[in-house]
Amino acid sequence: MSRIDGGPVGEGFDALFLAEWPRVVGIARRVLGSGVAAEDAAQEVFLAFYRRFGNALPERPGPWLYAAATHTALNVLRGERRRERREQLEGQKAQALLDPAGAVVAREAERELQCALRRMRPMNAAILALRYAGLRYQEIAQTLQIPVDQVGTRLRRAEIALRKEIGNASSERR
């Protein structure tokens, strides 16, 4: 039996971990764009889950895990944004190595998306992250604790807000 945070982990938690790890990492990866950062975020999510519930697993742990993955990843983005501001102010921002043109364009688009997600309302960013991580409307509704018949409308509004954020960022650079 493995141990986490100083206590034994029961078979229920182990099974939950194995079953949900890929989806939790996938949600975090959609927000963060990095596999390593996503795995770190997922690790935080499962530690928080275990600290909160221990071996007494809730009946439906998925929505809690998905919401926690989304919020944890968004918090990582926000933390990175604060760190980047500090580095810019201190003049310590490292120069990026030049990549082939296609990789640069893709990386810039990903960075623009992440910056736009940081500026959006948390609910809008969360619904986008969950949907594009592959969750169905029902799962999104459960995770965000909203009626399932509101998911489509909220998702559409979040996509419009995202396009607006990306457009605003593009026009600011000109």
Q: Report yes or no: 142 and 60 within 8 Å, Cβ to Cβ.
A: yes
DSSP track, 100-149? -HHHHHHHHHHHHHHHHHHHS-HHHHHHHHHHHTT--HHHHHHHHT--GG
- Confidence band of 92 (pLDDT split at 50, 70, 90): very low
pLDDT digit string, tens, across residues 5-26: 334 445 789 899 999 999 999 9
Per-residue pLDDT at 97 exceeds 50: no
Which residues touch 70 (CB under 8 Å, ≥6 apart)? Answer: 27, 31, 125, 126, 129, 130, 143
Count of H-run helices and E-run strands, the chain:
7, 2
